[in-house]
Amino acid sequence: MNSLSCTLLIFFLFLLFSYYHHFTLYITLFDLLIGARFGLRTLKEIGKKNVVMNIRDHIVEPIELSLFLR
């Protein structure tokens, strides 16, 4: 597989996961993994603090909430 097809596969997997779980998840992961790779947004532009906050808000807290609700 070439680089573009791998990137698109990752994007659509995150899109599918986010549609099922949390809509904004794929936006954060797209910014981090794919957007930074193609230079659409660099990690410096996003900012380390913002990255940590987005990961906490969009990944950790929904997982904690889903575990709590079970």
Convert the pLDDT of each residue in 27-54 to its tens digit.
556 666 665 555 555 555 555 555 555 6
What is the model's pLDDT at position 49?
52
What is the model's pLDDT at position 5?
79
- Residue tagged 């992961």 (tokens): 29
Whole-angstrom distance, CA of residue 58 vs CA of residue 53? 8
Domain containing residue 61:
3-69
Number of domains comprising the chain: 1
End-to-end CA distance of the chain: 39
Burial 16-25 (b: 16+ CB within 10 A, else e): eebeeebeeb
What is the model's pLDDT at position 6?
78
